[in-house]
Amino acid sequence: MPAPRTVLLTGAAGGLGTLMRSLLPEYGYTLRLFDVRPVEGEPDAITADLADRDALREAVRGVDAVLHLAGISLEAPFEKILRSNVEGTYHLYEAARQEGVPRIVFASSNHAVGFTPAPRAGEPLIPVDTPRRPDTFYGLSKSFGEDLAQLYWDKHGLETVSVRIGSCFPEPTSVRMLSVWMSPADGARLFHAALTAEEVGHTVVYGSSANTRLWWDLTSARALGYEPRDDSEPYAGKLVAEQGELDPENPAHSHLGGHFVNDPPIWPH
């Protein structure tokens, strides 16, 4: 696949979309922006919902790849998750298939495997092929997205890198985040690798920096050419002093998904 130049960025108005809008152009991409909300300072951004199939068809027409970040990014009532994350992602894949877009980089999440116990000291890191154990309807929708990506690769030859993002924020803000943090600069490095690596088929990777306290195995991400440069450890002293070390007896501390594992479900009423 020739190196992609024009990339559709869905979810461009969101937190991660905003970070990537500033970081990815340095890699030579021209970004086409898409979000249901207007993107501040970007009058050419496409303002449309993932439910709008015509808008999606037009948005993906002629792009070399899609970085699919749009969707509900936290737990929410099932119907909302269904509409944006399940149906919306399906509509995006259909538009990409119909327009011949060769690759999608899909923002999956650690919450697709959130009920997986975090490794204790000395235990092996969690591999990408660990059974999926969603911790929420949100995590379930990311699990669906990974299966959808596999289907579109097997059936239609549309490639995907599913990135199970940990937490991509400028700085880690909790002790758990020391294990799952992905610096924005490493996020851009990983998305760039996912957009440009040869012959990815459907590849699942974890998205994080090279954290000293890392919980999962970055081998499949490194195989794409990703070389993380950051580590959350310099933030550890302050965060541990404020919050204490993780308590292995607390389910919110001892599973990959953190507090998502014991937050009560959000019902529609």
Phi and psi torsions of 92, nearest 5°: -65, -45
Residue nearest to ligand NAD (CB): 14
The smaller minimum CB distance to ligand NAD, of residues 1 and 87, is found at 87
**Which token pair is 124?**
């092996």
Q: Which residues contact 4 (CB under 8 A, 6 or more apart)?
A: 29, 63, 64, 65, 103, 195, 196
CA–CA distance, 135 with 111 (Å, rounded to integer): 6
| Shortest separation between residue 48's beta carbon and ligand NAD, angstroms | 7
The smaller minimum CB distance to ligand NAD, of residues 16 and 224, is found at 16
Q: Which residues contact 189 (CB under 8 A, 6 or more apart)?
A: 226, 227, 228, 229
In which residue are the tokens 């993380």 written?
Answer: 228
| Shortest separation between residue 249's beta carbon and ligand NAD, angstroms | 26
Contact positions toward ligand NAD, by CB under 6 A?
11, 13-17, 35-37, 49-50, 69-73, 84, 88, 107, 109, 165, 167-168
CA–CA distance, 51 with 218 (Å, rounded to integer): 34
Query: What are the catalytic residues?
Result: 138
The smaller minimum CB distance to ligand NAD, of residues 112 and 246, is found at 112
- Cβ-contact 245, 237 below 8 angstroms: no
| Shortest separation between residue 14's beta carbon and ligand NAD, angstroms | 2
| Shortest separation between residue 2's beta carbon and ligand NAD, angstroms | 26
| Shortest separation between residue 208's beta carbon and ligand NAD, angstroms | 10
The smaller minimum CB distance to ligand NAD, of residues 29 and 206, is found at 206
Phi and psi torsions of 219, nearest 5°: -55, -45
The smaller minimum CB distance to ligand NAD, of residues 40 and 247, is found at 40
Q: Which residues contact 94 (CB under 8 A, 6 or more apart)?
A: 53
- CA–chain centroid gap for 243, Å, is 27
